[in-house]
Structure 1
């Protein structure tokens, strides 16, 4: 049985370009959430920094995540993001269950 995959993705935009990240997310979120295996896809702005975000993703399996990454909408989003991002996003995979 496959384990869920939880990602926290740290995103920094170019100064003053945070709204571009929000706009991109708002276009993608309904499409991504409809994908097979997507359990969570939520963007959060860092308090007191309008250009920093954390994207929280939860996928039912590694296969579901791989399929997501290969979709045309994600390939296009990744190609467009350098126009407003300060650099590549930092992807952190965390354990899906809290540590006891």
Structure 2
């Protein structure tokens, strides 16, 4: 997936995806998505799935995404090219 568009990726993408997959191990995917077999998908007699599923990994996963954006914004406010808006020019003029 990363090699499809190398102009848009950087090293933090790998770290982010690895951390996302780590927390995904602890999420109850089977409570909302049950694609184990073809019969389970086509069987309409299954009980109704819950609308909200929370586990012990839900909060850390949300905190991870929150911290990524908050710390990214905090680091960028200290850079002079973000403060004077020249970073937008450089990002849009990248070939």
TM above 0.5, yes or no, is no
Q: Greater share of helix residues, 1 or 2?
A: 2
TM-score tier (shorter): 0.3 to 0.5
* TM-score, scaled relative to structure 1: 0.32
TM-score when normalising by structure 2: 0.33
Q: Which structure: larger Rg?
A: 2
Higher relative contact order (CA 8 A, sep 6+): 1
Bigger fraction of residues in strand: 1
